[in-house]
Structure formats: C-alpha cells, structure tokens
Amino acid sequence: AQSVTQLGSHVSVSEGALVLLRCNYSSSVPPYLFWYVQYPNQGLQLLLKYTTGATLVKGINGFEAEFKKSETSFHLTKPSAHMSDAAEYFCAVRGNSGYSTLTFGKGTMLLVSP
C-alpha cells in the first residue's frame, strides 16, 4: 500500500523568498514520485518526477525536489518565489510494480504575497 502526506494545507511566502513544500511517502516497493501543480480552473500539470538515478530532480519554472530514501521524503523547493507560483501543489507516488495508480497527497496551497 502507498500513501502520501503533505504537511500544511496552506503555505504563505513573500515574493523572492524560499519556497519549501513538504511531502512524505510510504510505499512497500521502491517508489516513483511526482509533483503536480494546479492553477485556478486548470488541470493538474506535471512539475517534476523522480524515477531512478539522480536524487535531485529539476522541474519546470525553477522548481526542484530531492528524493531522500532514509527520510521517505520528496520535498519541493524553489529558491525565489514569484507571484505566478501561487497555485495548489500535489505530491503523488506510484509503485514500480506495474500498477498504474497514482496516490496523491491532500495538496498544499501556496500563497505568494508582494
């Protein structure tokens, strides 16, 4: 069984500040990990994903995430927030056992103030 926990339903930052969105997972098999972003009235858009190899993964819009197996974490970061980053962010896990199901966290709403 797989599960994802996202700490904080809302995170507020100032423009230019560091963004840190937390994600912890549990999985009985080595996981594939994903971050999706949802802008208002739009679908879920893939930001980045970890499958194998380098544990620091870079995505679109300056975001990156680091897979830490020992901590079962996949936190999302961005050095400097922009107003346009305001959106809801979802962490998801998928097993590599051949099943197609994505298991999502509850999402974190990122609020960016000027």
Which residues of this chain interact with another protein, rule CB under 8 A?
4, 32, 34, 36, 41-46, 49, 51, 90, 92, 94-96, 98-107
CB closer to another protein out of 51 and 61: 51
CB of 106 to another protein, least distance (A): 5
CB-based contact 114:83 (threshold 8 Å): yes
CB of 92 to another protein, least distance (A): 8
